[in-house]
Structure formats: C-alpha cells, structure tokens
C-alpha cells in the first residue's frame, strides 16, 4: 500500500507539482513567487538561466490530438502509440489557475478524466480535493487576497508541457519524463515569474484510451533508476539536446 501511495503521488501531476505531494520525481527551479506544491511544502531549489543564443532542438514532434472532449471538458481519445500516450500526458499536465479556474477544479478534472479506474476511489478523490484546497489557499495568500476569494485581475498560474523524454514504451504502457514551463503572475501590474519542472509520468492503455495509473508509475520509477534524470533546460538551450528531450510543436 505504501508503494501504491507513493506512485499515486507521481501519477497526478498538475501545474508542475504532484497532486498528493512529491516523492522526488518532480523538481522545480527556484524563482520569485514559485507556485506551491499541492501539499503546501516548498519545492526543492535549483537555479537555471536560459542562454541568450538559440540552439535548434534536434528532436521535434507534433503530438496527435485527441478525438473528442469528455464531460469534464478534457481532451480524450488519443491513438495507441507512444506519441498518443505523450499527447495524453501533456493534456493532463497542461493547466491554468486563473479566473474561475481553481486548483480544485483543475485537479479534480484531471482526476476524473485521466486517472485509471483502479486508482479512482472516494478516499483518493477526497485527498486530492483537500490538497488542492490547500494550494488555492497558498496562492490566495501569495496574491494578496483572502482564501476563497477570486484571484486578483490578471493573476494566474499556468503550466505548459514543452518537451518529453521516453523511458520505456510498448503498445500497452508508456513511461516518460515531462518537461514543463510554469509561469505565475500575481496581478495585472505584477511581474511574471517562471521556471521549468520535470515530472515522471506513466500510462497504460485502458478502455480504448491512455490512462495514468499508479501501477505503471511504480514500474516507471524502477526503470528510471537505470539512468540520470534529464536536466531541466529550456528548448533552445544546447543542453536541451544533450539531455535527450524531444520538443513539442503544436499539431496542425
């Protein structure tokens, strides 16, 4: 049960942090106004400055689109390919907290749309919602409003997946590292701050679509031990190629 709990912490990654806390598979470079973890614990500190010169990424891909949107408004129905799995994982991690969108609404949407059936339970849903509420409280404090009140005009936290690196892939299971850009702005006149995050994710083919599962995540954690974690570097940095990342283009 402990292993499954740790895996579930890595299964649901949103806005650059694990929904149920972290087990070391999600790292965030330090920045001003860094978005908090869902558990409210500070992110591990690191430093990274994007270089001035652009180096073209050696590996690019346009990920396939999902076939439809579900009742949560999430894109689903991805092809049974490695790129299809990557597209689902990116869709599950691309998110925003702004306007009427809260951490609670975004994290529960991901839970309902992208988590495998075996990992869905009343207990897990309750834990995810509680941690998301704590995240919303922390964001409200950082942005100078009372918990439960709307964020200031122009305030947001956005997470965008910009690259991935496959760990292991088959027709029924895919694991990979995701590289994301996380930006936060505390109001219309505030300066936007940003960082890069790296998350270990894994999915299984289930019911005609890719789903995030703790079982796949446990195996991914074991497989990932065979090599070093890829460096968190921006596309355009020569180190992006050295780390083995594949950059993501928007599909046409």
Q: Which domain range does residue 176 map to?
A: 2-249
- Of 188, 184, 165, 185, the closest CA to residue 176 belongs to 165
The mean pLDDT of the chain is 82
pLDDT tens, position by position, 146-181: 998 889 999 999 999 999 999 999 999 999 999 999
Confidence of residue 23 (pLDDT cuts 50, 70, 90): very low
Mean pLDDT of 126-149: 89
Q: How far is the C-alpha of 142 from the C-alpha of 200, rounded, in Å?
A: 27
Pairing of strands 193-206, 173-185: antiparallel
pLDDT tens, position by position, 192-223: 998 888 989 999 999 999 999 989 998 999 99
Give the torsion through C-alpha atoms of 238, 18, 103, 134, to 10 deg: -130
Confidence check: pLDDT of 22 > 50: no
Q: How far is the C-alpha of 150 from the C-alpha of 171, rounded, in Å?
A: 43
What the block records as the tokens of 250 is 């928007």
Number of structural domains the chain divides into: 1
- What is the predicted pLDDT for the residue at 8? 47
Residue environment code for 126-137, b if the CB has 16+ CB neighbours within 10 A, otherwise e = ebbbebbbbbbb
Q: pLDDT exceeding 90 applies to what percent of the chain? A: 60
Confidence check: pLDDT of 114 > 50: yes
- What is the predicted pLDDT for the residue at 31? 37
Distances (CA, A) of 179 to 86, 111, 182, 201, 234: 11, 20, 10, 11, 9
Confidence of residue 47 (pLDDT cuts 50, 70, 90): low
Cβ-based burial of 145 (10 A; exposed 0-12, middle 13-18, buried ≥19): middle
Mean pLDDT of 54-77: 94
pLDDT tens, position by position, 84-109: 999 999 999 998 999 889 999 999 99
Q: How far is the C-alpha of 129 from the C-alpha of 124, rounded, in Å?
A: 9
Mean pLDDT of 5-13: 45
| Angle made by CA atoms 39, 141, 14, in degrees to the nearest 5 | 40
- What is the predicted pLDDT for the residue at 20? 29
Q: DSSP states of 45-87 as a string? A: P------SS----S-EEEPPPPSEE-TTS-EE---SSHHHHHH
Confidence check: pLDDT of 53 > 60: yes
Confidence check: pLDDT of 241 > 80: yes
């Amino acid at each position: 049960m402990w292993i499954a709990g740790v895996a579930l912490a890595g299964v649901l990654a949103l806005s650059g942090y694990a929904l149920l806390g972290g087990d070391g598979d999600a790292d965030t470079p330090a920045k001003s106004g860094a978005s908090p973890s869902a558990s409210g614990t500070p992110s591990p500190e690191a430093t990274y400055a994007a270089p001035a010169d652009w180096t073209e990424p050696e590996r690019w891909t346009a990920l396939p689109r999902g076939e439809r949107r579900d009742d949560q408004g999430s894109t689903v129905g991805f092809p049974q390919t490695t790129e299809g799995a990557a597209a689902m994982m990116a869709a599950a991690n691309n998110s925003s907290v702004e306007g009427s969108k809260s951490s609670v609404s975004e994290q529960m949407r991901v839970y309902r749309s992208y988590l495998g059936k075996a990992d869905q339970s009343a207990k897990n849903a309750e834990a995810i919602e509680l941690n998301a509420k704590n995240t919303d409280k922390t964001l409200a404090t950082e942005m100078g409003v009372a918990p439960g009140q709307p964020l200031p005009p122009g305030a947001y936290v956005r997470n965008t997946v910009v690259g991935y690196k496959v760990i292991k892939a088959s027709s029924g299971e895919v694991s990979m590292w995701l590289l994301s850009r996380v930006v936060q702005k505390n109001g219309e006149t505030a300066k936007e701050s940003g960082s890069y995050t790296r998350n270990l994710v894994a999915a299984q083919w289930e019911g005609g679509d890719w789903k995030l599962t703790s079982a796949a995540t446990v195996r991914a954690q074991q497989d990932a031990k065979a090599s070093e974690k890829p460096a968190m570097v921006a596309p355009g940095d020569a180190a992006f190629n050295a780390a083995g990342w594949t950059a993501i283009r928007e599909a046409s």
